[in-house]
Amino acid sequence: MKFFLVSLFSFLFFFSCEPADRPAGLPANAKHDRNMNAYVLTENGISKIYYDNGKLFFECPVDEAKLYHGFCKSYLRTEEGVSAQGNYEHGSRVGEWTWFFPDGKVYIKQKFGTGPKDLAAQFNGDEGNEDGPYERYYPEGNLEVKGHYKSGFKSDFWQKFFKDGELEYSGYYSKGKKIRTWFYYFPNRQTESVEVFDDSGKFLSRTIFAPDGKKLCEVEEQKSHCG
């Protein structure tokens, strides 16, 4: 989801003010929206947003209140590939959304629920209604991150992998906070550190190791010891 926000910000950057010359290739009815700083065309129940080069950036059906509602797509600047796709329901993402690398390989797969958005989750940069499995992939196609969201927050068991498929770290979340024991690893498979939290997310301790397995530091809430 954050990936989409970054893409949208990059897109809107090109329209920080209305360009002096209208981009070639824009439909005649597309109008510059000063609030969005973009060219927009809404007709026949479909809203479309355009890149500064006149190519289509985003298209989505809208409901009677002009909120996105239906299956929507974002496109690359060349319109030769889809960068994201999924469903909106009265202005909110629902169901499974997929983001793609320029070559068409999957970058992120994430599910969204139909419940109300959590404001605290939105403050942290999420949509607020993420609910279900989350997967992020390397450009080569292998899995990078696997986890789960619940009501807008990271929840349950999460894992991150190195490009060769070996585990980089793993642990549990509850309402967006780390809980229990987290394990981190070096690329040589040795343990890098171990973090411990209570079930409310309060930090309890961290043990840090060297790549050769030697213990370097023990850190607790009120004290630490290294060497």
Burial tier of 227 (Cβ tally within 10 Å: 0-12, 13-18, 19+): exposed
- E strands, 68-202, are 70-75, 82-89, 92-100, 106-112, 130-137, 143-150, 153-161, 167-174, 177-185, 191-197
CB–CB of 79/98 below 8 Å? no
What's the pLDDT at 14? 47
| pLDDT by 10s per residue, the chain, length 227 | 555 554 554 555 444 455 557 888 899 999 998 887 889 999 999 999 999 888 999 999 999 999 999 999 999 988 789 999 999 999 999 999 999 999 999 999 999 999 899 999 998 889 999 999 999 999 999 999 999 999 999 999 999 999 999 999 999 999 999 999 999 999 999 999 999 999 999 999 999 999 999 999 999 988 888 87
What's the pLDDT at 2? 56
The domain locations on the chain are 2-162, 166-227
What's the pLDDT at 20? 58
What's the pLDDT at 78? 82
Specify the residue for token string 């999460």: 158
pTM confidence score: 0.86
CATH architecture designation of domain 2-162: Alpha-Beta Complex (3.90)
DSSP state of 62: B
